Amino acid sequence: MNNDFTCNISVNLPYPAIQPECHNPEYAYAMLSNVGSSNSEMTAVSLYFYNSVILNPIYADFAMCFHEISIVEMHHLDMFAELAYKMGADPRLWSVQNRKKAYWTPAYNHYPREVTEVIINSIKGEEAAIQKYRYQADTIRDSNIVDILHRIILDEERHIEIFNNMLYCISK
């Protein structure tokens, strides 16, 4: 592997306090979607855990980076679950659509094994999360939730930069 790779996961900004302005069930369901839907933090955590295992030892630096990013994603998972809970929702690993609950499943993940596909799959997941969080930030009328979404988007954008750097390093 190329020695030019570094994994700087830090976005040197604090996270907003978790203090939703009201008990809005629709907002709580949106946060549960971020916890346990197919496009969720739980999906990212489980996928990055898997990636960290299969990339080691050949791509040990990438494996460690996926592990570190999974910890950031766990923090996002915790924040979204706490938001949902503070708005009156049960923060299980599930999502709610049309008043129907669907539990999170590892079947939501696509599990490529070749390093380039692993990274491209991870980029697609981050892009989908950013698109979802931007939509939520544009439609939710609770400034605390919007601030949290914007802060988390910064992390997800940083992850895409890291994954693009991985692609660059393996192409050299």
Give the closest residue to 90 by CA, choosing from 99, 98, 81. 81
Below-70 pLDDT ranges, the chain: 1-3
Domain boundaries, the chain: 25-171
Look up residue 55 and give its DSSP letter.
T
Angstrom distance (rounded) from CA 90 to CA 93: 9
Token digits for 132?
A: 């979802």
Tell me how long the chain is. Answer: 172
- Cα 137 to chain center, whole Å? 16
Residue 80 structure tokens: 């979204």
129 token code pair: 């999360």
Bridge partners of 96, per DSSP, are 101
Report the C-alpha gap between 166 and 37 in whole angstroms.
27
pLDDT at residue 76, as a whole number? 98
CATH number for region 25-171 = 1.20.1260.10
* Beta-strand relationship, 94-97 and 100-103: antiparallel
